[in-house]
Amino acid sequence: MTELLASLAEPLHYAFFVRALAGIALVSVLCAIVGSWVVLRGLAYIGDAMSHAVLPGIVGAFLLKGNLLLGAMLAAVLTALGIGAVGRRSGLKQDSTVSIVFVGMFALGLVMLSKAPTYTSDLANFLIGNPLAVTPADLWSTLIVTVLVGGVLAFIQKELLLVSFDPTEARSVGLPVTRLNNLLLILVGLVVVLTVQLVGTTLSVSLLITAAAGARLRSRSLRGMMLGAALIGTGCGLLGLYLSYFLDTAAGPTIVLVNTLGFLLMLPFRRKEG
């Protein structure tokens, strides 16, 4: 027993490991709150698109030695506006416009990155992320975004609940349904930017969706779903980080894999009556 505790405590001597733990825990809580809405509203594809579309922002900031988070946010906002503009001009359905914009942005990011001298290693970092590279500054900005997004969602919770469950009723009591939906998209963009830092663009939607979807299987209320998602996400995140340390595997993908396995293990325990 003491041996186990000792080996668990071992990586905690490294500041970068502790920062990674803190980062994963914070982002898991944030993803639980936002991801629950994403799962309930069927917006997972937007989260996925968003995570790819922020690449040019991150790469641009990286090449210019600027703040990666700010660059990503700029790209997220441009993407959201771009999706809206293309949709209005083309009259196409949202899934098509989202795909067109997000692949275009992703390709732009890759082209920009190919001008970087250390192309291959950088590419790997952006695609699969690295929680062990989280800096104290990253942790602070993550904390600020968590408080901000959590505060906004708490402020509009009952309105968002009514819009999600019964949009007709929401319109009939005069709620600004479209604006609420747009606000939710912006929040999703913010959160995705944080997850990209940890697990990269290709895997980031996992943190947003998987834990919330797992909690959805058993939850009777929104609060229960968010709480469950936070527990699942944090638990799988910490477990994945430790596993990657002891197995010497890439941390981001290991965390995502544990999340996925956790979800599969929960599948048989779905509440039956719906």
Partner 1 sequence: MQTVTPPSSPITASVPGLPLVEVRGLTLRYGAQVALECGDLTLLAGQFSAVIGPNGAGKSTLLRALVGLSVPDAGQIIFAPELGKPVNAVAYVPQQQTLDWAFPVTVWDTAMMGRTARLGWGRWPGRSDRAKVADALEQAGVYELRDRHIGALSGGQRQRVLLARMLARDARILLLDEPLTGVDAATQLRIMALLRSQADAGRAVVMVTHDLEAAAAACDHLVLVNRRIIAQGAPEQVYTPHNVEATFSSSHLGHTHAHA
Closer CB to partner 1, 213 or 236, in the complex: 213
* Site stretch for partner 1 (CB under 8 A), options 27-35, 122-130, 132-140, 172-180: 172-180
Q: How far is the CB of 194 from partner 1 (least distance, A)?
A: 25
* Site stretch for partner 1 (CB under 8 A), options 19-27, 121-129, 165-173, 201-209: 165-173
Q: How far is the CB of 269 from partner 1 (least distance, A)?
A: 15
Task: State which of positions 26-55 bind partner 1 (CB under 8 A).
Answer: 40
Told to check if 177 binds partner 1 by CB under 8 A, we report no
CA–CA dist 149, 143 (Å, integer): 10
Task: State which of positions 121-160 bind partner 1 (CB under 8 A).
Answer: 155-156, 158-159
Q: How far is the CB of 159 from partner 1 (least distance, A)?
A: 6
Question: Left (φ > 0), alpha (ψ -120 to 50) or beta: where does 248 sit?
Answer: left
Told to check if 178 binds partner 1 by CB under 8 A, we report no
Q: How far is the CB of 164 from partner 1 (least distance, A)?
A: 7
Closer CB to partner 1, 116 or 227, in the complex: 227
Q: How far is the CB of 235 from partner 1 (least distance, A)?
A: 20
Told to check if 220 binds partner 1 by CB under 8 A, we report yes
CA distances (Å), 62 to each of 55, 70, 72, 218, 256, in order? 10, 11, 10, 42, 25
Choice from 87, 171, 181, 243 touching partner 1 (CB under 8 A): 171
* Site stretch for partner 1 (CB under 8 A), options 13-21, 79-87, 194-202, 222-230: 222-230
Closer CB to partner 1, 248 or 273, in the complex: 273
- Report the 3 state secondary structure along the chain: CHHHHHHHHHHHHCHHHHHHHHHHHHHHHHHHHHHHHHHHHCCHHHHHHHHHHCHHHHHHHHHCCCCHHHHHHHHHHHHHHHHHHHHHHHCCCHHHHHHHHHHHHHHHHHHHHCCCCCHHHHHHHHHHCCHHHCCHHHHHHHHHHHHHHHHHHHHCHHHHHHHHHCHHHHHHCCCCHHHHHHHHHHHHHHHHHHHHHHHHHHHHHHHHHHHHHHHHCCCCCHHHHHHHHHHHHHHHHHHHHHHHHHHCCCHHHHHHHHHHHHHHHHHHHCCCCC
Told to check if 219 binds partner 1 by CB under 8 A, we report yes
Q: How far is the CB of 204 from partner 1 (least distance, A)?
A: 24
Chain contacts with partner 1 (rule: CB under 8 A): 40, 155-156, 158-159, 161-162, 164-166, 168-169, 171-175, 216, 219-222, 224-225, 271, 273-274
